[in-house]
Amino acid sequence: MHRQVLSWATVVLGISCGATWAQKSATESIEEYRAMLADGNPADLFEAKGEALWKEKRGPKRASLEQCNLGKGPGVVKGAFVELPRYFDDVGRVQDLESRLVQCMATLQGFDAAEISRTPFGRGEMANVTALATWVAAESKGLAFNLPQGHTQEKVAYEVGKRLFFQRGGTHDFSCASCHGEDGKRIRLQDLPNLTKNPGDGIGFAAWPAYRVSNGQMWSMQLRLNDCYRQQRFPFPAFGSDALSALSVYLGVNAKGAKSAAPTIKR
Amino acid sequence: MNNRRETLKQGMTLAGLLASTGLFPQFAWAYNKTAFDAKSVADVAKAFGVSAPVASKDVTITGPDIAENGAVVPLGVSTSMAGVKHLLILVEKNPSALVAMFNVSDAVESSFSTRAKMGQSSDVYAVAITSDGKALFAKKEVKVTLGGCGG
Amino acid sequence: MADPMRIRAQMSGANATVRVLMSHEMETGQRKDASGKVIPAWHITEVTATLNGKPVLSAEWGPAVSKNPFLQFNVKGAKAGDKVAVTWKDNKGDTRTDEATVS
Amino acid sequence: MKITKYLSFAGAALALAGCAVVPGSQELDRMTEQAVKAAFRTQGIANVERVTATDETNRVCSAADVAGKPLAPEVAKAIEAANLKAIKWPTNGRFIGDWKEGEKVAQSGRGQTWTDDAKTVNGGNCYNCHQIDKKEISFGTIGPSLYNYGKLRGVTDVTNPSSKPIVEYTWGKIWNSKAYNACSNMPRAGHAGTLSEQQVRDLMALLLDPKSPVNQ
């Protein structure tokens, strides 16, 4: 009975004030749905796995990752995520979190970095990299992004990243900016953050890694960017490539001050 | 009047769903739910009397009005009644309707939440099966939207 | 072996609210792989829980429960320090039990 | 192989690190090009040329976006003219198809990714960015609402000569959006071979046919 009254109200209001009302109520319902999912994020499962992997003696060298330097010194995890990607002296290049984790797995544990980089997302050691990244990110939850820009290569990476962000291509002429260059836009029902500036706490760069409910997978930033390019109808960007690190620097520097909410839960 | 007929029709639909799980043979008479159209529902229900599943304010279904993704739809079932043996969650339009059955004990509250897959927009039911074999239910509609970019 | 569960059990009044995340594919048996072959059903069929070793909950699940399942229930008369254990079994005979302390 | 590529980029940057000065714009463009070549590879039907050999329109518009400045009017005009010239007009002047089929094309976002195969029927991706039929609440807002598209433009009969300009413009816009706005965000669905002539015809009906739900 109550329901019928409500549906009538929808019809009447729909006539009197056009589409806006119905649209808003759909948006509110989606918000409600997202709130229901927030408590009990399966990302927790990957976070726990990542923490165990960090401490476990693994690989040909039977070593843990506890001496891995994520930029704040060997073994310092808290706060590392919100300062990545950054320049690393030992390799002479800018690395993002996942490239750095693979680097540590190679140097400390004796894994083959090239082989891990070739492994599809969600499989074998690549799945472990994602779990590790999820845990490392979770250790910085609530901290504000503050990527270093002191080194020339970090500045170069920002400039290269900016060019990648605006690069139109593929069969559809899309660039990252086609969807993420303006405020208040939506693709289907998904809100699109404007990534040319700080889009706010826990939005955009500050929201990944994230658990994707659509396929039940944990998505790292590398996979997030990889799938953006897939949907842009671009060719395939290599895991850990300088291009993806540079793009991440552009997004991360723009997000300066945004508090990290990672790992989050997404559609 | 319409409203009552609607409720009875839902009861029939649900009886079919319950029977299809194979767990509750007492509802098997309604297994072929297509046999009942809206017009004859009232008569059929009268013939079967109280054993038809009935809507009840004492049973609650919780869930979103719109699910952004059918792969994960948060659903909850609860009841304030005593003498309930099982609490069920069903999604009418799923290939097999029964999502989960919780056995109620004195040691837990009669309230459970989980998450279900839904292939399409559908009515979802919370059903309480009492120790004397009756089925009481609540239902709500959950719309499943098409996701982001892809197909 | 299956990955561990995440169990949180928190006091709320005289009861403990238990939230469980399980690591499981929950394959429906309705999907096909790239080559068109049906992916066989693989899902949790039974979930049980105990409080300090005493059974408090049993549930039967079908393939429509979402991947990496979530479950919330409330245990009556629990107190901080009590042990809540949750066990799942799947249709391939795999099983996993994890435990958490009520806080 | 991959490692040498990494090194070449790192090497270039390292040499510059010595001066501790960020290189000029042209050098940064060159480094970006190098990074793109090193990173992207052909996968499935998604050829690497889609990013290494983009056309003049995309190159000029990308550069303008990086600079944060619109194109010079004469450059914009030249790009628009070139794209207008490339439009393929419908065979036998048949502009209008079936709006029901058009709705399916508008709904579908399939095709042309590296996970699609060549046999996939491409969609138009229209609802991703536009409101179209009001019944579909899951629509994007990157482009303008197209609800009542034909009605608002006074199209009561698509065969009437008075409708000709809007019918032609709409075909041209779907086929090659850059003919009317050099750096439009909209794909060039016909030009790029995403949609067939018949699919465009059906989209035309969805937007312009007075019987289409769009114009109710």
At A101, which CATH number?
1.10.760.10
Provide the 10 A C-beta neighbour count for residue A8.
10
Is A113 a member of any domain?
yes
Using an 8 Å CB-CB cutoff, list chain A residues near B145: 30, 189
Is A123 a member of any domain?
yes
Q: Is position A17 annotated as part of the catalytic site?
A: no
State yes or no: cis peptide before A263, omega within 30 of 0.
yes
Using an 8 Å CB-CB cutoff, list chain A residues near B72: 37, 213, 216
Using an 8 Å CB-CB cutoff, list chain D residues near B69: none
Confidence tier at A16 by pLDDT (50, 70, 90): very low
Q: Residue-wise over D92-110: b if at least 16 C-beta within 10 A, else e?
A: eeebbbbbebbbbbbbbbe
C-beta of residue D139 within 8 angstroms of C-beta of residue A256: no
**From the candidates A17, A104, A176, A228, which is the catalytic residue?**
A228
Contact C51 B103 (CB under 8 A): no
Is A198 a member of any domain?
yes
Please give the Cα distance from B18 to B97 (Å, whole number). 8
Highest-pLDDT range among C37-41, D9-13, D142-146: D142-146
Helices D25-39 & D2-17 angle (0-180, nearest 10): 160
Residue B6 has pLDDT above 80, yes or no: no
Contact D138 B149 (CB under 8 A): no
Angle at D77 between CA A162 and CA A233, to 5 degrees: 40
Is A186 a member of any domain?
yes
Contact B108 C56 (CB under 8 A): yes
Task: Report CA A233 to chain centroid distance, whole Å.
Answer: 20
C-beta of residue C21 within 8 angstroms of C-beta of residue C70: yes
Query: Which residue of C lies nearest to B111 if distances are taken between CA atoms?
Result: C73
Residue showing tokens 């790992």? A263
Is A75 a member of any domain?
yes
Q: Which domains does chain C have, with CATH numbers?
A: 6-29+39-101 (2.60.40.10)
Torsion-angle region of residue A59: left (phi > 0), alpha (psi -120 to 50) or beta? left
Residue A90 has pLDDT above 90, yes or no: yes
Three-state DSSP at A141 gives coil
What is the DSSP code (8-state) at residue D46? B
Query: For the complex shown, is ipTM > 0.85?
Result: no
Is A4 a member of any domain?
no
C-beta of residue A134 within 8 angstroms of C-beta of residue A98: no
Please give the Cα distance from B30 to B27 (Å, whole number). 6
Residue A226 lies in domain: 43-266
Confidence tier at B126 by pLDDT (50, 70, 90): very high
Give the DSSP letter string of A150-201: -SHHHHHHHHHHHHHHT--BTTTTB-HHHHHSSTTEEETTEEE--TTS---T
Highest-pLDDT range among A105-114, A185-194, D155-164: A105-114
Q: Which of A49-63, A251-265, B134-148, D81-95 has the lowest mean pLDDT?
A: B134-148
For the stretch D62-76, pLDDT in tens is: 999 999 999 999 999
Please give the Cα distance from B69 to B88 (Å, whole number). 22
Q: Between residues C21 and B8, which one has the greater pLDDT?
A: C21
Q: Which of A267, A212, A264 is nearest to A44 (CA)?
A: A264
Please give the Cα distance from B1 to B39 (Å, whole number). 12
Choose the closest CB to A37 out of B74, B147, B150. B74
Q: Between residues A249 and D12, which one has the greater pLDDT?
A: A249
Per-residue pLDDT at B146? 59
C-beta of residue C4 within 8 angstroms of C-beta of residue C23: yes
Is A13 a member of any domain?
no
Interface test with A, best of C1, C5, C6 (most A CBs within 10 A): C6
pTM above 0.95, yes or no: no
- Is C23's Cβ below 8 Å from some Cβ in B? no
Confidence tier at B49 by pLDDT (50, 70, 90): very low
Contact B149 D128 (CB under 8 A): yes
Q: What's the number of domains chain A is made of?
A: 1
C-beta of residue A264 within 8 angstroms of C-beta of residue D58: no
Three-state DSSP at A58 gives strand
- Is C66's Cβ below 8 Å from some Cβ in A? yes
Determine phi and psi for B147, rounding to 5 degrees.
-75, -160
Q: Which of A261, A264, A248, A138 is nearest to A201 (CA)?
A: A261
Per-residue pLDDT at B94? 87
* Lookup: tokens for A161: 């990243």
State yes or no: cis peptide before A60, omega within 30 of 0.
no
Please tell me the number of Cα atoms within 13 Å of A44 on its side-chain side: 19
Per-residue pLDDT at B47? 41
Distances from the Cα of D23 to the Cαs of A160, A263, D19, D59, in angstroms?
11, 36, 9, 21
Q: Which helix (H) or strand (E) holds C20?
A: strand C15-21
What is the DSSP code (8-state) at residue D87? P
Is A37 a member of any domain?
no
